[in-house]
Amino acid sequence: MTTGGHPVTSYLQRQTLSLLLLFVCGLILSMILAPQYGQSWDDEYDANTGRTALGAYMGYRSYWQTDDQYVFQQRYYGPVFFALSELTVQIVQRINPALHTVDVRHVLNFMSFMICLPAIYHIARRLFPANVSLYLIVLFSTQPLIFGHAFINQKDIPLMTATVWTFWLGLQAFDTQGRSSSQPRLDKHTRWESYLLQLRIEWIGLALHRKLITISTVVLSIFLFLDLSIGLSILPSTKSLIKQMYFREAWQPFQLLFDFLAEDAYKTPLTLYIGRVQRIYLWIRIPIAISLLWIDVHVGRQFFPVITRILQESSERIRTVILAGAVLGITISLRAPAAFIGILIFIFALFKRGLRAWLLLMIYVFSAILMLYLTWPFMWESPLANFVETLQVMSNFPPRLVLYRGDILLSNSLPWHYLPTLLGIQLTIPILILIPTSIGILLLKRMQSIRRILGILLLAWFGLPLTYIIAAGTPLYGNTRQVFFLLPPLIVLAGFALTEIHERLKDHRMRMVVASALLIPGLWGIINLHPYEYAYYNQFIGGTEAAYGRYELDYWCTSYREIAGYLNREAPFGASIVVAGPDYALRNFTRGDLQVYPDWASPPDPDFAVVCDPGRYGDFFSNYDIALRVGYGKAVFGLLRCQTRP
């Protein structure tokens, strides 16, 4: 077992080949399976968000001025993954136009899942032997719920991956066991006490004018940084000055400069000038903020030699902290409440380093804020106000219809047991047995304090957000997908029970039997339900067939691709088809002559009607005959109805 970690750079150097093999296997698997999955409900909208975000990164205003209500609503989520996905799709399409864009996005979604696995492994390695840690990621990967979503879920899978990497890199950044330089290892308390003592001595011996310069530089930097973040005075003052110069009311030197640069200003609307100024301001405040930080560091190094010593002796540690903070910023942009993971890292840092961690924590926070700002266009105009608005929106989604225990409920009035119940019937039974056993071992068995602390942090990662969601009545829909970021700590916690089993079973063959038995339910679910693994329910309720009509199955309508294949073979030329839900999830795979309509624009008597998850929407054109059922056993994922069987 191990309780320590390795520096990130050393890890990357030693594990390059293993990671490469992992990604190559994942890429091959995803390319084989991707064309078998349908398009999820939100996929088209999120692709549009990605295209709009690419324009925002290049300076266009379309991200804020779009008429697409979905894209407008998506401003509350950082679009970095959607933008990277769309950019990759455009590149791939130039290379091979024959590849379907939906399939390319499926591959990218699955690769984002694959990236999650090394981080889970290394978190587990801090607690368990290598073989147990490796088995945990196999157990996680063979959860049908996760495996199915890994292809079709471009929202929650990248968030889950970012959350896991945030946690692992945070542990790496503040772990005191890895060396951060080539300097001889000293006791951390002695080293930082030496730093603080030397800083105090240097401050006392500093000349008065240098003290004034130091204080002024720090205070001015803080003021300017806050002003640049909030837009309190600099931006409004600049807009006011532009307005005065436009109407020829400005101070003469400014007026002469404006007249020289904008000779025929009256021919251009004032709003255009204001827009240009605001766009320039959005882009230059980041370089200004970085410059302010550089000035502070430069002044500190000139006046306080101990700061140079700190930077030299902790350079590798600081680079790791910067990287960890940057990943935290990306994670928060994907889903603002994920800032909770940063709080867990704060707790870990204080446990490992005490108050001596304050400098590294400041760097960590600054890196997170900077990356959050850079990757989230919604933050560019009013960061603090927009972030607060985002948190408010996150806790008050518009209500959606949810099928739960056979009843149709509103997503903002679900019973407290909604989420625990779904987790208890959508994860495989072995996981559900291992987790409470592991929690008991964590709380009751004697172990090293660092192992217990890390285990409690993992338990808090899962338990505290779950408790808040239940207590606050947070609106939920789409079953458990919105809380996928809470599943990795559960999987890692299961390692306590697995380690206990491993230690008690001395016979290698018995270990293999137990390990295989724990994987069988997940593998069986993946094989039987493919490509609808995300509709998996365990035997606690009788499996997926027993869940039909009681819980949601194909709520993202991925079965429309299979129905489209049938229509391409059997539908007459020019047939009209009305679709409940995402009509594009059918249209993108049908022949060009077929006329596909959304349910709100249906012709009077369409030839066909298509509906997904008929357990919820079974009355859609119920007077038509059933031409095709897509499902598993008695469970129906999608229905094709027709006036006359083709």
pLDDT above 70 covers what percent of the chain? Answer: 89
Provide the domain limits for residue 596: 560-642
Within a domain: 183: no
Tell me, what's the pLDDT at 252?
80
Within a domain: 341: no
Given CA atoms 211, 216, 221, 226 in this order, what sign does their dihedral have? positive
Residue 531, preceding peptide bond in cis (omega within 30° of 0): yes
Type of residue at 286: I
Within a domain: 609: yes
Tell me, what's the pLDDT at 3?
44
Contacts of 498 (CB under 8 A, 6+ apart): 128, 132, 135, 136, 434, 438
Q: Can you tell me the distance from the alpha carbon of 523 to that of 115, in angstroms, rounded to the nearest whole number?
A: 21
Contacts of 334 (CB under 8 A, 6+ apart): 77, 78, 80, 81, 158, 159, 162
Residue 180 pLDDT level (bands cut at 50, 70, 90): very low
Task: Kindly report which listed range (121-125, 190-194, 442-446, 602-606) carries the lowest average pLDDT score.
Answer: 190-194
Q: Can you tell me the distance from the alpha carbon of 52 to that of 345, in angstroms, rounded to the nearest whole number?
A: 33
Largest CA distance in the chain: 95
Tell me, what's the pLDDT at 399?
85
Q: Is the pLDDT of residue 145 over 80?
A: yes
What would the two tokens of residue 365 be? Answer: 């926070």
- Total domains in the chain come to 1
Tell me, what's the pLDDT at 450?
86
Tell me, what's the pLDDT at 178?
42
Q: What mean pLDDT is predicted for residues 608-612?
A: 95
Q: Can you tell me the distance from the alpha carbon of 264 to that of 135, in angstroms, rounded to the nearest whole number?
A: 71
Residue 629 pLDDT level (bands cut at 50, 70, 90): very high
Q: Which residue has the tokens 């304090």?
A: 449
Q: Is the pLDDT of residue 9 over 60?
A: no
Tell me, what's the pLDDT at 167?
97
Q: Can you tell me the distance from the alpha carbon of 460 to that of 457, in angstroms, rounded to the nearest whole number?
A: 5
Task: Kindly report which listed range (8-22, 103-117, 241-255) carries the lowest average pLDDT score.
Answer: 8-22
First to last CA, the chain: 64
Per-residue pLDDT tens digits for 464-517:
999 999 998 888 999 999 999 999 999 999 999 999 998 898 888 898 999 999
Within a domain: 533: no
Tell me, what's the pLDDT at 1?
42
Tell me, what's the pLDDT at 32?
95
134 to each of 437, 498, 508, how far by Cα in Å? 20, 11, 16
Q: What mean pLDDT is predicted for residues 281-285?
A: 71
Tell me, what's the pLDDT at 598?
93
Q: Can you tell me the distance from the alpha carbon of 179 to that of 317, in angstroms, rounded to the nearest whole number?
A: 8
Tell me, what's the pLDDT at 183?
41
Q: Can you tell me the distance from the alpha carbon of 105 to that of 49, in angstroms, rounded to the nearest whole number?
A: 14
| 435 and 494 Cβ atoms separated by less than 8 Å | yes
**C-alpha dihedral, 508 to 510 to 512 to 514, nearest 10°:** -150
| 560 and 579 Cβ atoms separated by less than 8 Å | yes
Tell me, what's the pLDDT at 107?
96
Tell me, what's the pLDDT at 259?
75
Q: Is the pLDDT of residue 35 over 60?
A: yes
Per-residue pLDDT tens digits for 369-382:
889 988 888 887 77
Q: Is the pLDDT of residue 567 over 80?
A: yes
Collapse the DSSP code of 176 into the 3-class scheme (helix H, G, I; strand E, B; otherwise coil) and give the result: coil
Tell me, what's the pLDDT at 334?
92
Residue 441 pLDDT level (bands cut at 50, 70, 90): very high
Q: Can you tell me the distance from the alpha carbon of 597 to that of 584, in angstroms, rounded to the nearest whole number?
A: 9
As beta bridge partners, residue 638 has: 612, 630
| 524 and 413 Cβ atoms separated by less than 8 Å | no
| Mean residue pLDDT across the chain | 86
Q: Where are the alpha helices (DSSP H) in 445-559?
A: 449-472, 487-504, 508-529, 543-547
Tell me, what's the pLDDT at 615?
73
Q: Can you tell me the distance from the alpha carbon of 150 to that of 30, in angstroms, rounded to the nearest whole number?
A: 10
Q: Can you tell me the distance from the alpha carbon of 267 to that of 586, in angstroms, rounded to the nearest whole number?
A: 50
Within a domain: 628: yes
What would the two tokens of residue 306 be? Answer: 């101990």
Tell me, what's the pLDDT at 70?
63
Within a domain: 84: no
108 to each of 26, 31, 148, 393, 621, how far by Cα in Å? 10, 10, 14, 28, 36
Within a domain: 591: yes
Tell me, what's the pLDDT at 135?
93
Q: Can you tell me the distance from the alpha carbon of 357 to that of 174, in angstroms, rounded to the nearest whole number?
A: 8
Per-residue pLDDT tens digits for 327-367:
999 999 998 888 999 999 999 998 887 777 888 898 899 89
Tell me, what's the pLDDT at 4?
47
Tell me, what's the pLDDT at 7?
52
Q: Is the pLDDT of residue 458 over 80?
A: yes
Within a domain: 536: no
What would the two tokens of residue 48 be? Answer: 């549009």
What would the two tokens of residue 585 be? Answer: 């999830």
Q: Is the pLDDT of residue 197 over 90?
A: no
Q: Can you tell me the distance from the alpha carbon of 134 to that of 487, in angstroms, rounded to the nearest whole number?
A: 17
- Residues 170-185: b if buried by 16+ CB within 10 A, e if exposed: bbbbbbeebebeeeee
Tell me, what's the pLDDT at 464?
95
